[in-house]
Chain A
Amino acid sequence: MISPRIWLPTLVLLGLLLTGLLILSGEILALGLPVLIFIGASYLLAPEKPDLEIRRLTSTSAVMQGRPVRVRLEIANRGTATTSIALADEVPEGLQVTEDRTNWLLQLKPGERVEVGYTLQGRRGEYRYRSVRLAVTDPLGLFRTDIRIPVASELVILPEVLHLHPVRVRPGQTRGFAGPIPSRTGGSGIDFYGVREYQIGDPRRRINWRVSARTLRDLYTNEFEQLRIADVGLILDARHKRDLQSGGTRLFDFGVQAAASLAQAFIHDGNRVSLMIYGFGIDRVYPGYGRVQQERILQMLARAATGHHFVLEDLVYLPVRMFPPHSQLVMVSPLGPGDAPMLVRMRASGYALMVVSPNPVEFEAAFHERSPRYELAKRAADLERKSVLNSLRRVGIQVVDWNVAQSLDTALQAGLSQQPGIGRLSGGAG
């Protein structure tokens, strides 16, 4: 390839040649000789395609949003000639370089290996690096070869996880291992559950002397509610029609953040947690425990994106049966008027249901210019939303109306403390 720089000396040379020819001046022709030799030398020194080996190394393949990632490029010259290159790494859109640069001028001797690098940050998502760009020029810069070398790698920016206080849930059925969730069965625990007849082996300090004193022959023992772990299914609403975008931020991102934070909180308490993302398709992370499961969920959430699918436009086809019966479900969704009936049906099927709903009205209001007409519209939208949320609360669904300007933890603590009689609405004990 010819660099645009070559045109000026070429035009100067042609101009001198033509002028010398027209006025029959050998001196003017002679003036063109240095320019001609300049172009000729550049032509002779024009580079061949370099034989380079390039590797891209990132300090981590997955990182939390907001944390820096160091990207290094290792370049080795496998050719037999010294090569001068201008190297530029093609950073995927959405990542911001925070330290150093992504382009370098390098001269590599045969067999030489150099390393360059930069630091970047990015928003939640999956980023694929594809190639690096090289420009090889002759020493005078008139002839240039542009090459794109594929160097594929992947970087996942995980969603931000907020620390939450323990989230109080009361599913109808718990699992057999000790945990933090009241299981509706008597045994060892903290909260008083009931009184039963004394059985051999009961510790004496558990005998309820007041009740025993009412009878002559029998002794009675206090029972406490067993604390167990539970199955928790997180459902993230990724339907395009429920997403809003204002001021460069998306409501869906808050939903993802909430799902990630809740997953972390439930897993930290020892529960078995699964995730379903309902949008363009249905993506699932099957139930599991521990850090590995948390990593799986975060990876899935990092890739989560909204989408539109005619079949999945409503929640009617939400495959609830994929979750264990009577388990705890947590739906993260801004909710709309048509969503309530399906949630009521889920509750009626015996699932304990919590809805964490990022408030779309307040989200949009934060970026909207105030006017009397807007205030009226906002009030109408508020009323409609409150009506939907109240219809859910009436059937015993825990609802957390989350104004995303506030912290999720505050919203959860405030929202869940207001829920009346959650325990009484659930089904049988497990």
Chain B
Amino acid sequence: MSRSAVFFLLALACAAFSSSLPALIAGEWAWASVSILLALAWWAANRRGYRWGSAAFVVFVCVSALGMLSGQPKAAMIVSISAALAAWDLDHWILQVRDRPQDLPGSGMENRHLEVLAVVIGVGTLAGILAVSLSIPLSFWPAALVCLLLAIMLRQALSKFRQG
């Protein structure tokens, strides 16, 4: 098993347990089983080479959002979405390099990818946890303005790259 596959499994386990553990403790079996079954299905699909990662990631995002709204621990939901994002990235990576295993040893690409991913996911998780820990009261219109600005910035960045 490659290092990417090990980290993929860890990310899946982390995503499943962080979203289901609070539910398990509270005895909400149905809620908990959704995440665990989803993680198992994703892992099996990856093993068989099926490209179901995107759909599974979207479901994990929905589960995290619903968990957040239904009063599950916020930090756990942030960890869940971050781990699901890491799993989505590693799923793609594993499937991409599956047919060329001889390229990886010695190339350093896998290590670099894992290092960057770990840093990005770590920073993202911390930022998310920090954000849910802080309480800044915002009314609709300032929040809408902030979101609009963010959307415009994102659009500008993407169009710049498209031209480049």
Which residues on A are within 8 Å of B, measured CB to CB? 1-2, 5-6, 8-10, 12-21, 23-31, 33-39, 41, 43, 45-46, 82, 84, 101, 103-107, 139-141, 143
Contacts and interface: CB of A to CB of B under 8 A. Distances in A.
Nearest to A101: B100
Contact of A31 (B78, B97, B120): B78
Nearest to A21: B147
Contacts of A105: 97, 100, 103-104, 107, 109
A330 to B, nearest CB: 51
18 contacts: A1-B162, A2-B162, A9-B85, A18-B147, A23-B69, A27-B77, A28-B68, A33-B78, A33-B128, A35-B124, A38-B120, A41-B116, A45-B116, A105-B103, A107-B108, A139-B112, A140-B116, A143-B161
A41 B154 CA distance: 13
B61 A24 contact: no
Nearest to B89: A140
Interface of B: 54, 57-58, 61, 64-65, 68-69, 74, 77-78, 81-82, 85, 88-89, 92-93, 96-97, 100, 103-104, 107-109, 112-113, 116-117, 119-121, 123-125, 127-128, 131-132, 135-136, 138, 140, 143-144, 147, 150-151, 154, 157-158, 161-162
Contacts of A140: 89, 113, 116-117, 120
B64 A84 contact: no
Contact of A139 (B57, B96, B113, B151): B113
A107 B92 contact: no
Given A33-B128, A34-B128, A16 B61 contact: yes
B58 A12 contact: yes
Contact of A38 (B58, B65, B121, B136): B121
Most chain-B CB neighbours within 10 Å: which of A20, A34, A107?
A: A34
A27 B68 contact: yes
A24 B100 contact: no
Given A31-B68, A35-B81, A84 B112 contact: yes
B103 A141 contact: no
B21 to A, nearest CB: 18
A46 B116 CA distance: 12
A75 to B, nearest CB: 12
A115 B64 CA distance: 47
A15 B151 CA distance: 11
A137 to B, nearest CB: 10
Most chain-B CB neighbours within 10 Å: which of A15, A27, A39?
A: A27
A36 B128 CA distance: 10
B125 A34 contact: yes
Contacts of B140: 21, 24
A45 B97 CA distance: 21
Nearest to A42: B120
A2 B74 contact: no
A141 B93 contact: yes
A8 B60 CA distance: 13
A37 B127 CA distance: 9
A107 B92 CA distance: 19
Nearest to B60: A12
Contacts of B136: 26
Nearest to B106: A107
Contacts of A82: 112
A77 B128 CA distance: 39
A34 B161 contact: no
